[in-house]
Structure 1
């Protein structure tokens, strides 16, 4: 998702990525990525390595998902596959062509599990090019009956208003054993809306009260975010994106292109099964040594969602119980309009999640903006009187449009001792705490405001409420798993963010 944010330093402004593929390719695109360098890599990214993704933080961190292995290969760019080397281990196994190992084990699929050709499609139900791409896949399935396994991966584009809802409903359909009828119905025409989605769901016989309950509870958020993480890991920026036995095809290419690759893969599958036995898992053989991620070098392209960052709470202002399953650490600036927008989102989340959510506030301020620094001091002067959150809420209600006199006016509005407030505000007493927050933000790799960490996992910018709720669903599941293992509530956050 795009990251509306106030950037802290000129040097941190992100440059536009270079388009490495023909612009005529038929795709729906998200925002351009940070620039990447097309050089092959032979080891997966880890802290401090030359191949590490741009977002590798300078501070200690751990991976969140277990999806990546230190022994696996990482490609430095996805869209320019012709520039990549075949990994040595893949070459030694006699597997030609650059390939990417897409995990298909938990994804919806149709066709034989042992099919010689597996086509993975990252798609968006509102993307017209995905509809065209699906028609090509359908033709391939008809022409090569019993030889194709088709695997769906969700990649809803930010600009498509109903794409996430459609993807979540598709997972609900899968839970009711009606994924493919619903999938095909959605692609039967464009122009989706909540009402149209409900009508299609009813048409294929879904239990609608169950569908709506699962939408409200985000029952399938973990499955959706699994696909989104994998797409991001492979540098996917557009739909449709295909992988045929791990070979990358971007966009709705011609039927002849698909036929050519399928013919090559069928011939290879026949050869491999002669050499290794008729029961060979062709997809595993073809992709076992393929690239498993895309590394971006030469840029610090933001925080990495695949990492848990050890963000200490310390003595920062917080609301919500310390034993909450969700801890949301906010790095923000009262003078940042995006932080004001984010504050409204966080307020809705607090109302929705109640005691399951703890919010912690830390200051991340641009250099030289005296009013922002003064506002931070004022908030801590309010905290000294036990009124940080009333002051915080009242100041953000001004939507970043305030001057120095407004700080005293807000203090009066929340009934602070004005004499003490003024003395503390002007004293510089809290500068060390502000500096400590600033130092922590820098160590973590925070480059703009607002930046959030949910149990250590980052969200950058003033994202919509749904983006938080999807991540919250994952983190609630992670917290519940630790509690079931016997972790004490008092140790939950420390355990969630530790290595």
Structure 2
């Protein structure tokens, strides 16, 4: 604020500062006193940092001089302007406007009646018309800059004053070099967003239309007009690109239907159209067209106690909008000279005498005629008043009917039911999404289940991708008996739903999944209290809560649900936390089927029932051959090498248990005592093998794995297993300081051990274990392979015993039959087991102009079939970066366009990307991909969002983006053939969703982890010489 003039400062030798009125981004405005006359004025002084620009200085003074030529009682008078010789700052001295802004007035009053709007808009039109007549365009018209001065006059209590200095622009200068939007996007005409925009009087007509809408309805026209902070770019996109709805349609959409007069839509369309040439070409034309529209519905003038002036007109004439003529303003007092001539005797004007005589004659005629004229006038006023009252009642009746319909709709939502579906749901179930959504996912969940938590990540992506209009998710309780903390958590969740609705349930669910290890304590009840539920509230509904949970469990059994999570997508059953691509495939197909149903007349809220009936009967589960699925079949043999992993037990043991685990996983901790029990029971007949799989959500799992590996490196396998027990026994205390203490207790060198942890010394060994876990479809922990047979989760000892006994018997028989030693048995057993399996494709030639990054001479090429509106593709981007970083010159990534039909902006985005690549090359293309993915998070991936992403990406290029060329490419679909080429290849290869990766000849579907991708790369590298 060092630029601010102190009170008492005399500026430009004549203006003494009284106080600061407004601090703006370009200038400050002060109330000043003229030292010679004592007159109070407004002084606008440009900031030094801005005023130093010669071009700006010239334009500012030019604008001020041009504004001084605008002759209107509604324009702030410019008294002087120039460059102050002392401070070298441009300035202008203006008439001091006193009153409140139009923004404040409207905020206080709400929607205005048509009569008041007519008065205000007419005055504003006079100001703009006067400016346009002398070649000045305001270009920054907004309510905050329009002042209402109190007049205390009958009929129109406010006089509008508009300031042009610092906002206006000489029209001849406005034809070129407009490089930034001057006005707030809420009122700014779209042409001001363009470089070298041509500004004409029609530029001011756009905000005139928006202001009229706002004054009549009390709300801005734009949907995002409520938040001018973070929503500014969203609003600008709406101004520039989204469809311009008729004013009455928008009014109905935002809840102010019936407040616009007949004929307003056509007038508004003539103001608010993006083509300047199609607007009114002068403010005078716009006002002339609006006047009869508002006069037709304006309430009659309010009678006052003031006696009519003899000879005054009996009715107000309509505004005279002919060029150069003054506008009739009942409220605007005429300005008088500071030294009016002294009053003196004068002869009565002849015209005045005639007017007086005529008025008197009319008065006498009224008396003689029994007051016929006045009676007619009063009757007319009464008729108008009655018509207005009738219209008001009709509008109120319409609104009441709308409110009643809305009440009925809300009541229906409270009691909706799809009980006739084979997977019945109702208003008794927590729900995300709209009742009428064409696709419904019913989720049987367990709040302590790690796989349910994993599924939530996929569901969140689906929510983002499809939105509440297309997708509905309904939750059912299914707490499993071996999850001892699940049932109490479900009771709280159900009680929250009953008390606070779906939002509270969903909030608690998310909290529970993120903090599954805390479900055993008091935390769940504390979370509930934060959401508005007390223990007393829970106790009151305990019986009803238990009944609902039991009903859901019974339903799950009836439907054949054997575990969690289990989902039904419009009746199609699917067990487990399946890949997002599998959900996508089903949802897209169901959306098409739903369209067919609604086209035939099925009500949207009946689609779920119809589709679930057909799907459930036809396909009780998406994978009816679950027993043949290796992920579910415990009899499938897997190739699980021992390698150089930590071992507990001799090689001669007939049973080898490979443990894939995570030191921070609570379920792995539960399994640790079971492993001890196994060793105690079977001794050297069983060998344990450890494989690391630290999960990314467990931040201390990897340091703990490094620690145990380093203890082994220093002290051997026996010390590793002691470290294993110590870490699980103290799972909540595995920070670096704790590990240092444990190293000492285990006899390892604490400093050396912690150096290994912080430097990730054993990274390669741990990553190799993780790759093996991916190959074995063992993404969750713990997973066990007992002589190559999979066992998932923290199972009870009895389950292990059954498998161990069976495998021990089988081993004895096989060793005898094959004459194998005990040492050789395990390797012989698993050598033919199932390993990493990827579908093999036959890729065609890659287009020469496809975007590439990575090695220029790669051994393996990864073709990334993707699109920019797909959230799973965005999720894959960091994985691609990691792969390129880790494999260096061995790998190249090629982008292949595959815009899916259910993503409305995907094809346009592909077109935009190809144009960026054409103009600026591959490197900028991938920066555009990153920028587009970032914008997709907020939903800003329409045409405007794509242009902004392209401009962001182009900042790294010295050449820069040609916006005109970019827009033309999108308009002409210039790269359609290039996109079609990629699409045809994807379809030929049988790729149905995105993302899909072709790693050499190996196909990897979905948003996979870097570990899974590296497994495919390693396999492809083995194929290369």
Q: Same fold (TM over 0.5)?
A: yes
CA shift digits 1:371-401 (9 cap, x unpaired):
3212211221222224454255246425221
Contact 1:185 1:200 in 2 (8 A): no
Contact 2:815 2:825 in 1 (8 A): no
Of 928, 943, 951, the residue aligned with 1:404 is: 943
Q: Superposition pairs for residues 143-154 of structure 1, below 5 Å?
A: 143-154=681-692
Q: In the alignment, is residue 180 of structure 1 matched against residue 721 of structure 2?
A: yes
Aligned to 2:646: 108
Aligned to 2:767: 221
Aligned to 2:847: 314
Q: In the alignment, is residue 423 of structure 1 matched against residue 955 of structure 2?
A: no
Report the CA distance shift for 1:440/1:135 in structure 2 as closer, same or farther (over 3 A): same
**Bigger mean CA offset, 208-217 vs 113-122:** 208-217
Report the CA distance shift for 1:267/1:333 in structure 2 as closer, same or farther (over 3 A): closer
CA shift digits 1:117-161 (9 cap, x unpaired):
333333332233333333222233233333221223444456434
Partner Cα separation in structure 1 for residue 567 and residue 707 of structure 2: 28
**Bigger mean CA offset, 327-336 vs 403-412:** 403-412
Q: Superposition pairs for residues 358-377 of structure 1, below 5 Å?
A: 358-367=892-901, 369-377=903-911
Aligned to 1:131: 669
Partner Cα separation in structure 2 for residue 395 and residue 253 of structure 1: 45
Contact 1:168 1:215 in 2 (8 A): yes
Secondary structure of residue in 1 paired with 2:893:
strand
Contact 2:639 2:831 in 1 (8 A): no
Report the CA distance shift for 1:120/1:366 in structure 2 as closer, same or farther (over 3 A): same
How big is the shift at 1:328?
4.3
Report the CA distance shift for 1:183/1:457 in structure 2 as closer, same or farther (over 3 A): farther
Report the CA distance shift for 1:190/1:387 in structure 2 as closer, same or farther (over 3 A): same
Partner Cα separation in structure 2 for residue 246 and residue 5 of structure 1: 35
Of 119, 137, 148, the residue aligned with 2:657 is: 119
Partner Cα separation in structure 2 for residue 200 and residue 453 of structure 1: 47
Report the CA distance shift for 1:373/1:482 in structure 2 as closer, same or farther (over 3 A): closer
Secondary structure of residue in 1 paired with 2:905:
helix
Report the CA distance shift for 1:262/1:419 in structure 2 as closer, same or farther (over 3 A): closer
Partner Cα separation in structure 1 for residue 855 and residue 980 of structure 2: 26
How big is the shift at 1:438?
1.9
Q: Superposition pairs for residues 291-310 of structure 1, below 5 Å?
A: 292=834, 306-307=838-839, 309=841
**Bigger mean CA offset, 163-172 vs 319-328:** 163-172
How big is the shift at 1:347?
5.5
TM-score, with structure 2 as normaliser: 0.34
Contact 2:771 2:1015 in 1 (8 A): no
Aligned to 1:336: 870
Report the CA distance shift for 1:246/1:352 in structure 2 as closer, same or farther (over 3 A): closer
Secondary structure of residue in 1 paired with 2:690:
strand
**Bigger mean CA offset, 249-258 vs 115-124:** 249-258
Aligned to 1:141: 679
How big is the shift at 1:433?
1.5
Report the CA distance shift for 1:285/1:420 in structure 2 as closer, same or farther (over 3 A): closer
Report the CA distance shift for 1:282/1:255 in structure 2 as closer, same or farther (over 3 A): farther
Q: Which of the pair is proportionally richer in helix?
A: 2
How big is the shift at 1:116?
2.6
Secondary structure of residue in 2 paired with 1:199:
helix
How big is the shift at 1:174?
5.3
Partner Cα separation in structure 2 for residue 271 and residue 348 of structure 1: 48
TM-score, with structure 1 as normaliser: 0.63
Aligned to 2:187: none
Q: Superposition pairs for residues 25-44 of structure 1, below 5 Å?
A: 25=482
Aligned to 1:77: 629
Contact 1:133 1:252 in 2 (8 A): yes
Contact 1:218 1:473 in 2 (8 A): no
Report the CA distance shift for 1:105/1:349 in structure 2 as closer, same or farther (over 3 A): closer
Q: Superposition pairs for residues 460-475 of structure 1, below 5 Å?
A: 467-468=1009-1010, 471-472=1013-1014, 475=1017
**Bigger mean CA offset, 281-290 vs 206-215:** 281-290
Partner Cα separation in structure 2 for residue 112 and residue 274 of structure 1: 20
Query: Over alpha carbons, which structure has the higher Rg?
Result: 2
Partner Cα separation in structure 2 for residue 460 and residue 192 of structure 1: 38
Aligned to 2:88: none
Aligned to 1:494: none
How big is the shift at 1:113?
0.8
Contact 1:339 1:449 in 2 (8 A): yes
RMSD of the alignment, in Å?
5.0
Partner Cα separation in structure 2 for residue 409 and residue 115 of structure 1: 65
Partner Cα separation in structure 1 for residue 737 and residue 859 of structure 2: 36
Report the CA distance shift for 1:193/1:364 in structure 2 as closer, same or farther (over 3 A): farther
How big is the shift at 1:326?
6.0
Aligned to 1:190: 731
Partner Cα separation in structure 2 for residue 365 and residue 320 of structure 1: 23
Report the CA distance shift for 1:77/1:171 in structure 2 as closer, same or farther (over 3 A): farther
Give 5+ residue unaligned stretches, structure 2: 1-453, 485-515, 517-562, 576-581, 583-625, 955-959
Partner Cα separation in structure 2 for residue 257 and residue 368 of structure 1: 46
Partner Cα separation in structure 2 for residue 375 and residue 216 of structure 1: 43
Report the CA distance shift for 1:453/1:468 in structure 2 as closer, same or farther (over 3 A): farther
Give 5+ residue unaligned stretches, structure 1: 38-53, 55-73, 85-97, 294-303, 488-499
Q: Number of residue pairs matched? A: 412
Report the CA distance shift for 1:416/1:118 in structure 2 as closer, same or farther (over 3 A): closer
How big is the shift at 1:327?
4.2
Contact 1:371 1:403 in 2 (8 A): yes
Contact 1:169 1:215 in 2 (8 A): no
Secondary structure of residue in 1 paired with 2:658:
strand
How big is the shift at 1:31?
7.1
Contact 1:26 1:129 in 2 (8 A): no
Q: Identify which of structures 1 and 2 has the higher relative contact order when contacts are C-alpha pairs closer than 8 Å and 6+ apart.
A: 1
Contact 2:864 2:894 in 1 (8 A): yes
